[in-house]
Amino acid sequence: MRTMKIGKSGIEASVVGIGAWAIGGDAMWGQSDDAESIRTIHRARELGVTLLDTAPAYGLGHSEEVVGKALAGRRGDYVLSTKCGLRWDIEEGGFMMARDGVRIVRNTRPERLAEEVEMSLRRLQTDYIDIYIVHWQELPEFPCPIADTMEYLLKLKEQGKIRAIGASNLSNEQFMEYVAAGQLDLIQEKFSMLDRGVGDRLFDLCDQHGVTFQAYSPLERGILSGKIKDASQVHMGMARSRVKWFLPENLPKIAALSEKWAPLCKKYGCTMTQLVIGWTAAQGNGSNVNVLCGARKLDQIEDNAKGGDVVPDAADIASMRRDAEEIA
């Protein structure tokens, strides 16, 4: 597994990370088997995957609890990231969504982050978080200046509770506010070859300011694995129900990509999943994109991890981009 630097933090992590969103087992993805999730996290490390990403909102704390159990006695083997800024246990905040019987709000005010970081540390059974990411940015009806949020995160860094600061789901303007207020080491954004808009507008900024771009949902919630022939056979959940590629009329387009890329899979000795991961890691300046892939089963992590070793040549990267543009 190739490794890479995370921003200017001095942290080195695997190019491919394991995402623990589905491990939360909530309405977004459906019920999970915690024992299988833990085995998957352990298997990830055996395959060279060191970066492990979770969040309090995944399963309303459950994903962090499972990750904490998995890391017991193994904490030093992983680069652990979790998030802040989404709460379901308070009323104060900008309304984001109703899910699993609760009202989830955005609140990045320092006094609330002070509560949240302690709860995450307890659930994760650790005394430090490697990368602490602001999950979603403020809403107009409940503003909090990014400078105030960053000031508190920098204090957490001074205290040794976190090692690096990240932000997710942000605009170009918000990106610039973060870097103006302190050292931002990573941004986490939805990016895939079928949904490239965010990356195409943020890659240059990341390069200019030494910030790692971490792509989440690079496989479009699994549809780009080439394994899903009939969406009715998979658990859609809220996460997949929002992805248009699972619609019956779009499945043949994905199947056509799979067929077209079969020679490339043969050329690189890989699966379609691994080819897509390799393509994603090659975006930006070619060395600054981290690829975050969800996994809660052994076969998923074994497929994903090998994508970190696939390095398509420039001509194939360009041809895959053209192929994706034709259907996107």
Q: What is the DSSP string of 145-173?
A: -HHHHHHHHHHHHHTTSEEEEEEES--HH
Q: Coil, strand or helix: which one is 177?
A: helix
Q: Check residue 83 and give its pLDDT.
A: 98
Distance CA 203, CA 143 (A): 27
Q: Is the dihedral of CA 118, 66, 243, 102 positive or negative?
A: negative
Q: Check residue 248 and give its pLDDT.
A: 87
Q: Check residue 189 and give its pLDDT.
A: 97
Residue of 58, 78, 132, 216 with catalytic role: 58
The predicted model gives 303-318 an average pLDDT of 96
Determine the straight-line distance between the first and last CA of the chain, rounded to whole angstroms.
Answer: 30
| Mean per-residue pLDDT over the chain, rounded | 95
- The two tokens of residue 62 are 């459950």
Distance CA 306, CA 291 (A): 12
**Residue given tokens 């971490």 in the structure block:** 214
Q: Coil, strand or helix: which one is 227?
A: coil
Specify whether 58 is catalytic: yes
List, in sequence order, every residue forming a beta bridge with 98; answer none if it has no partner.
103
- The two tokens of residue 235 are 């658990």
pLDDT of residue 258 exceeding 80, the answer is yes
* 5-19, 103-117, 238-252, 275-289, range with the lowest pLDDT: 238-252
pLDDT of residue 237 exceeding 90, the answer is no
Q: Coil, strand or helix: which one is 277?
A: helix
**Residue given tokens 């949904």 in the structure block:** 195
Q: What is the pTM of this model?
A: 0.95
Query: pLDDT tens digits, residue range 57-102?
Result: 999 999 999 999 999 999 999 999 999 999 999 999 999 999 999 9
Which strands make up the sheet holding 86-87, listed edge to edge? 86-87, 102-106, 94-99
φ, ψ for residue 132, nearest 5 deg: -110, 120
pLDDT of residue 327 exceeding 90, the answer is no
